[in-house]
Structure 1
Amino acid sequence: MRKSFTVAVGAALAIAVAGCGSETDGNGSAADAAADPSVDIPGIEIVDYPAGDHVGASERVAYEYSPPFGGPHDAAWATCTGIVYPVPIRSENAVHSLEHGAVWITYDPERLSEEQVDLLAARVDGVSYMLMSPYPDPAQPISLQSWGHRLFVEDADDPRIDQFIEALRLNPNTYPEPGATCATLPTNFDPANPPPFQPIP
């Protein structure tokens, strides 16, 4: 049996934020912005992750970031066909969905009103290559993830949410597996009974 993977992003991966650092300042080059318009979104985090590193269904990944937005992941991806999950889901499955071009919205139900949650869900429900779930104790009330990209916001009205989705959902320049599906077989991942969230070890 393979050992669980530990992601040492700080040592193995380069954080790209308008060149270096932890957040973009909106000054990405014209070439960068053409391929990845998200480089101009204030506050975005961008990390260069290698693709295709799978772990087994019983294995855990010690992600450096919470919520994670790249790195080793389960061989089965979370169904990302516009599903609004009512419960937290296993990060290792959700990260694989990002590899397929999806955007994963997570939120803290303790810090958002029902109206705010509904505003987020309206952006996801029935929209292909989108998924949403609660996420326990995040740094900010709302976090958006795509492969190698993350953005924290405090309010569901923040215009950067739509900018993030527009720039990164199915952007073939920003994720490893263009053309990969977001649908899954229930034998691989059942959206009606998803693998439960587990804290990062």
Structure 2
Amino acid sequence: MANGTKKKGTSVKGLKAARNSVVSQRGVPWGTIVAVVAVVALAAAVITYYMVQSAPKRAAAAWAPTADNPDPSLKIPGIVTTQYKGSVHILPTERVAYDKTPPYGGPHDGYWAACNGIVYPKAVRTENMVHALEHGAVWIAYNPAQVTGDGLDKLKKRVEGKQYTMMSPYPGLDKPISLQSWGHQLKVDNADDQRIDEFITALRTNQNTYPEVGASCDALGAGMFDPDNPPAFDPAPPGPDAKPMNYQGSTGTQQDMGNGVTATPATPTSR
């Protein structure tokens, strides 16, 4: 009995010692730690990608106009609205003394800027851009000195190939980004702002908010408005001959007839 008890005690002590020795030899499990960190980083990247890519869909669910809520944009923090009369046209040689910067309504050129998912690399004449808003487009303007690189790419993805959307630099803009639709404007500080998608969803071709429902956004072409060679933006302040916001329209301009049809002017115009 005594010998048996002694052997049992020795055996238990030996097992504990061996186990402690193995544990002490294991060290820090760096491989496991690195693997866990990698998995967490991957998960974070996937979540971030999902949030960015799904933003338009999530905005569509909450900000799409309905019969009960014809203009959801009115609930977007920071949005500004103004009532403007539509179909007041000027000649390509004339300017408007707009009351907002960038403008989002008022008298405008008889030729609209192409707004069929186009990103203009250079600033475009304002009077043409405003006409496109009258057709239900959303115009993303940005300060080229403040929005570059990844931020610029994020804005382009919201525009390229998407009908009734256009984008252009706007030198001297007082905020990095400004969004316009007819009678509506929202200015934001960066391209990650969720209000950008909310604005686009609520107002692009929202038939409750713009004058010419069904009007075209396609390019008119050379001699009218050529998106490959659009009329340039004029940074100079409008002169004393600029048309006021209550202007009633110039003789001989293109006149919209509805559904995107534009009548030929009674007298030729010159550019």
TM-score exceeds 0.5: yes
2:86 matched to 1:51? Answer: yes
Q: How far apart in 2 are the matches of 1:45 and 1:125?
A: 25
Describe how 1:137-176 pairs up with structure 2 within 5 A.
137-176=172-211
Q: Which has the higher helix share?
A: 2
Q: Please, which of 74, 92, 95 is the counterpart of residue 127 of structure 2? A: 92
TM-score (norm 2): 0.62
CA contact (8 A) 1:105 1:132 kept: yes
Return the offset for 1:139.
1.2
Paired residue for 2:226? Answer: 190
Q: How far apart in 2 are the matches of 1:166 and 1:73?
A: 25
Return the offset for 1:35.
1.1
Q: Please, which of 125, 136, 144 is the counterpart of residue 160 of structure 2? A: 125
- Aligned residue for 1:191, secondary structure, equals coil
Paired residue for 1:7? Answer: none
Letter in 2 for 1:80: C
CA contact (8 A) 1:33 1:40 kept: no
Q: How far apart in 2 are the matches of 1:107 and 1:124?
A: 13
Q: How far apart in 1 are the matches of 2:119 and 2:112?
A: 15
Paired residue for 2:137? Answer: 102
Describe how 1:75-90 pairs up with structure 2 within 5 A.
75-90=110-125
Paired residue for 2:73? Answer: 38
- The structure having more radius of gyration, on CA atoms, is 2
Q: How far apart in 2 are the matches of 1:108 and 1:32?
A: 36
Paired residue for 1:60? Answer: 95
Paired residue for 2:26? Answer: none
Q: Which runs of 4+ in 1 moved over 4 A?
A: none
Q: How far apart in 2 are the matches of 1:33 and 1:74?
A: 34
Structure 2: give runs of 5+ residues left out of the alignment.
1-65, 239-271
Taking only the aligned residue pairs, the percentage that are identical comes to 56
2:214 matched to 1:179? Answer: yes
Return the offset for 1:185.
2.2
Letter in 2 for 1:192: D
Q: Cα–Cα, structure 1 residues 147 and 96, in superposed 2: closer, same or farther, change >3 Å?
A: same
CA contact (8 A) 2:111 2:220 kept: no
Structure 1: give runs of 5+ residues left out of the alignment.
1-30
- Aligned residue for 1:94, secondary structure, equals helix
Letter in 2 for 1:141: P
Paired residue for 1:14? Answer: none
CA contact (8 A) 2:164 2:204 kept: yes
CA contact (8 A) 1:56 1:74 kept: yes
Q: How far apart in 2 are the matches of 1:119 and 1:129?
A: 18
Moved more, 136-145 or 32-41: 32-41
TM-score (norm 1): 0.83
Q: How far apart in 1 are the matches of 2:184 and 2:174?
A: 16
